[in-house]
Amino acid sequence: MSPKQPREVSNLFAAAGMEQDAPHPLPDRLRPRTLADVVGQDHILGPDGALTRMLETRTLGSLVFWGPPGTGKTTVARLLADATELHFEQISAVFSGVADLKKAFDAARARRETGKGTLLFVDEVHRFNRAQQDSFLPVMEDGTVVLVGATTENPSFELNAALLSRARVLVFHSLDTAAIERLFANAEKVEGKSLPLDAEARAVLVRMADGDGRASLTLAEEVWRAARKGEVFNAEQLQAILQRRAPIYDKSADGHYNLISALHKSVRGSDPDAALYYLARMLDAGEDPLFLARRVVRMAVEDIGLADPQALAVCNAAKDAYDFLGSPEGELAIAQAVVYLATAPKSNAVYTAFGSAMQTAKQNGSLLPPKHILNSPTKLMKSEGYGSGYQYDHDMPDAFSGQDYFPEALGRQTFYDPPDRGFEREIRKRLDYWDRLRKERGGK
């Protein structure tokens, strides 16, 4: 006990059966001591990995580590500094500003004069603004520092092109089941006892870790703390003890875009089961159901289109049902719309046609429509031929005149080409019929 530590506090620890000088948390005690100890990143640290090759040739350049939390980015950076005999300097973009950067650069220059290089590790590097990111360029170019930046965000979107051109991006993967199990095995060796879990509960604990090595060890430590002597938890007991860990999901980050992309493509691929899974993933992670309802409406117009004209109505009805019912009941309406879309005939013909029409409109400027379809409210316009020769379709056989409605300078175009699927099969028949009439009546 410290001389200044009150005896009452010491007695509280003793009464609770706790040691005052408790050991370090399990993730810290199991932190790898060498690069060979790092788990789950064999693609960059294995025999043919990118970092292995760099270390063999002693050509370590500036790097950006991109990957989810708990995959070893900070640990690998520290071990790289040890392996290359560089001084390890760490700053966080969350807590650092220009003054901190200048201080780190000045220290690296002074260190360089003594023959010692610096590996500057910048955690959350994407949080620096563009100007702050630019400040790294001179010290990277002249070799003052070897920069290793870590980010959970896509570097292509969050980092300056100039910075990216001077650094190699290495992707860190979420830890798979085998890697998490290796961490649990290492933890059991350190603790000298097995995790008090049956096989199903152990599998659940692996899934709760969600690919995060640090989280997996923290969860394991919580299990050991909760277990009484001789107790073994099943899956239900485990979930009650840990209360489940919130999925890694940032609505502004890659997890959000990855899952909404997976949902959209599952619908497009006519897989209602996969679509429901990704919908459930996003709702479970706290995604705004109205965002999902809007995206479902987009799917209806982009991927189903006129192959099933009811799709858009169903999706708008689902949005209205959610507005009326709220959560969680209204979420079922969104799920129903997702299944409807996934099982509907697919067509992007209108989506493609509109894109082509927009491109043609932009490329050809302000072409005047043919005069026969222009209104002529004045004598001058009539004298110029506006409205002359227009044929009122309802007065024509089959209610179809076959006149050309495109600007003369542009000529007739074809944008909409419906497939022979769903309701567009009927539309295809109509278009073919009108095209035949147009040719018979001398149209283009």
- The per-residue pLDDT for 247 is 55
pLDDT value at position 1?
41
Quote the pLDDT of residue 308. Answer: 95
Predicted confidence (pLDDT) per residue in 172-201, tens digit: 998 999 999 999 999 999 999 999 999 999
Q: How far apart are the first and last CA of the chain?
A: 98
261-278 average pLDDT score = 94
Mean per-residue pLDDT, 139-166: 90
pTM for this model (two decimals): 0.62
User: Beta partners for 126?
Assistant: none
pLDDT digits (tens, 9 = 90+) for 350-370: 999 999 999 998 888 888 888
Q: Helix (H, G, I), strand (E, B), or coil: what is residue 150?
A: strand
Tell me the range of 82-91, 236-245, 252-261 where mean pLDDT is highest: 82-91
Choose among 69, 225, 39, 244: nearest CA to 153.
69
Long-range contacts of 191-197 (CB under 8 A, 24+ apart): 191/26, 191/224, 193/224, 195/220, 195/223, 195/224, 196/223, 196/224, 196/227, 196/231, 196/232, 196/233, 197/223, 197/232, 197/233, 197/238
Instruction: Please state whether the peptide bond connecting residue 328 to the residue before it is cis, i.e. omega within 30 degrees of 0.
Output: yes
287-346: pLDDT as tens digits: 889 999 999 999 999 999 999 999 999 999 999 999 899 888 899 999 999 999 999 999
What pLDDT score was predicted for residue 21? 54
With 70 as the cut, is the pLDDT of residue 17 above it? no
Q: Which domains does the chain have, with CATH numbers?
A: 41-171 (3.40.50.300), 177-242 (1.10.8), 254-343 (1.20.272.10), 366-440 (1.10.3710)
Ordered alpha helix ranges (H), 212-253: 213-226, 235-242
Q: Which of 7, 2, 70, 80 is nearest to 39 (CA)?
A: 70
pLDDT of 13 > 70? The answer is: no
